[in-house]
Structure 1
Amino acid sequence: MKKSIHSYAWIKVWTPKAAGDVAPKAAAKGFNHVVIPMRDHSTIHPADIARIFGSHDLTPVATATQIADADISSLDPEIRRRGMDRHRASLRLARDMGAYHMGGIIYGLFGKAGNAATDENRKAAAEALAILAAEAKTMGVRLAMEILNRYETSMFNTVADAVAFLKMSSSDNLFLHLDTFHMNMEETDMMAALKRALPYLKYFELDQNDRGLLDRGAIDFGPMLRFLKENDYSEIIGAEAFSSAVSGPDVARGVSAWRPLFSNGDEVADSANAV
């Protein structure tokens, strides 16, 4: 079983020493993959990550981002070019740390949008990701798009729209990442959405309705996990949670982690294992 946990369960923000802090804790709780957010490339030391993770039999999972002046969904050619360059830098880091999966909000900006994305924005992003996915394939890395709720992106919010985007890209190395927190907000039928996503699904992330501990909350993961097992799903299953007691200020603002839902990542790991 490919079982992943987000490093932010234990740390406020990724730093050069974070691999040494997180790796032994994740491994001790039985995880074999750990998410590394590549918000700030200067903090990512791939050789150290590869060495430390390797010593704990862990595989890094990279998540990449775009920023306001480097965004592949922009209709400004220069901003779009810088977005491509940023992703290429992320891909090199992912490859060098030993990751085979780079996911996240790779198709545009994260955060509440001021207006709806246009078909032109989606077309620009799909074309860019098709190129990047082809380049990633030569590095042994696949790309997976996380589908977010309406408050965190206006590009697409449902599996149906994300699948349409995938078909627009025509890439054989671009896949889906589902997060139950976002599905719970946007899908009218979570099981139907999961079934539709299954042919493209490479990361299924457990995330409760309040983004707190996974074994307490409104989302029943059982039916979805049983469906995946019955259909021989063999890709990554991840655990994610956020708490004001742990999250750094930038992370807390980004995901609105205003309450202390847990005090230590061990609680997240234990709740994920219980589920």
Structure 2
Amino acid sequence: MSRNALGVHALVFAGGTSPAEMTSIIAETKAAGYDLLELSLHDSPALDVAAARAELEAAGLGIVCSRGLAFEADVSSDDPEVVARGARLLHDSLQITHDLGGSHFTGALYSALGKYGRPLSSAGRANVVSVLTDLAAEAAGKQMTLGLEVCNRYETNVINTAADALRLADDIGADNVVIHLDSYHMNIEEDDFSRPVRLVGDRLGYVHIGENHRGYLGSGHLDFTSFFHSLEDIGYAGPITFESFSSAVVSPTLSNDLAIWRNLWDDGPALARHAHAFLTDRLEANRVS
């Protein structure tokens, strides 16, 4: 048995978070054998939090919530009003995560999710640090952790590498802020799949597994062997969540933000079962090697 909780992103099954969609997402997550569900909060106005929590608890599933921001609510902006809107969005999302029964809120919490036309300004970075310092204190009061997901240059200009994320976490200076590595983004930005994992070490708090094209695991060119060996070498015992996107399942907002234009798969439940087996096999191989 894996010591790591295995998760799956809700967009493998449905594009939104309406009551009917959540019922289906939770049932499919459980049926595919996962321990936890990751839910993007981009569609949170449609979410019935109390009903979703009850269904998650009935299924025995953990919950992790994630999100990026929008350009009109961007805490890395130089505009105080835009920053304030982003801070409110983060506060509301943290509360939703807590109300769902979750203890971990992660993602691009530091910027809009999209292509920037300029580098991050010093004032913008200072705003990120200020807002996330306050959010980390709020999260600590709820016994929650924040994850800084390292995203590629086409989705943010704030942190693109593990080293960037560590510097930002150091400036925030809170013990409940952890690093979130994602194999899809690492393939674009990092030199390899080993050194970033070792660099982060015991500050690694969450992992996304996704192929270079975000389709079926093993059908692309990513070096998962070295990545899983590195996780084993640092004794990583946190969640490992499968993330995949296809134009077959469309989020009203997030699919456009992430440029999900291609149909990489049609059957989300089959994809999820395959990914669970792939992850279980890799972790078991590392454990016995």
State TM-score, norm by structure 2.
0.90
2:242 is equivalent to residue 239 of structure 1? yes
Match of 1:51 in 2: 54
CA distance in 1, matches of 2:35, 2:277: 16
1:56 partner amino acid: A
The counterpart of 1:2, out of the listed 1, 5, 16, is 5
The counterpart of 1:205, out of the listed 200, 203, 208, is 208
The counterpart of 2:120, out of the listed 117, 121, 128, is 117
Q: What is the root-mean-square deviation of aligned Cα atoms in Å?
A: 1.5
CA contact (8 A) 1:19 1:53 kept: no
The counterpart of 1:107, out of the listed 85, 110, 125, is 110
Match of 1:135 in 2: 138
Aligned length: 275
SS of the residue aligned with 1:40?
helix
Q: Displacement, 1:46?
A: 1.6
Match of 1:173 in 2: 176
The counterpart of 2:259, out of the listed 256, 259, 268, is 256
1:134 partner amino acid: A
2:87 is equivalent to residue 79 of structure 1? no
CA distance in 2, matches of 1:67, 1:247: 18
CA distance in 1, matches of 2:167, 2:123: 14
Unaligned 5+ runs, structure 1: none
CA contact (8 A) 1:64 1:105 kept: yes
Unaligned 5+ runs, structure 2: 279-289
Match of 1:271 in 2: 274
1:173 partner amino acid: N
Q: Displacement, 1:60?
A: 1.3
SS of the residue aligned with 2:146?
strand
The counterpart of 1:39, out of the listed 23, 37, 42, is 42
Inter-CA distance 266–233: structure 2 relative to 1 (3 Å threshold)? same
SS of the residue aligned with 2:194?
helix
CA distance in 2, matches of 1:27, 1:207: 20
CA contact (8 A) 1:207 1:239 kept: yes
1:53 partner amino acid: L
Inter-CA distance 84–248: structure 2 relative to 1 (3 Å threshold)? closer
CA contact (8 A) 2:105 2:146 kept: yes
SS of the residue aligned with 1:36?
strand
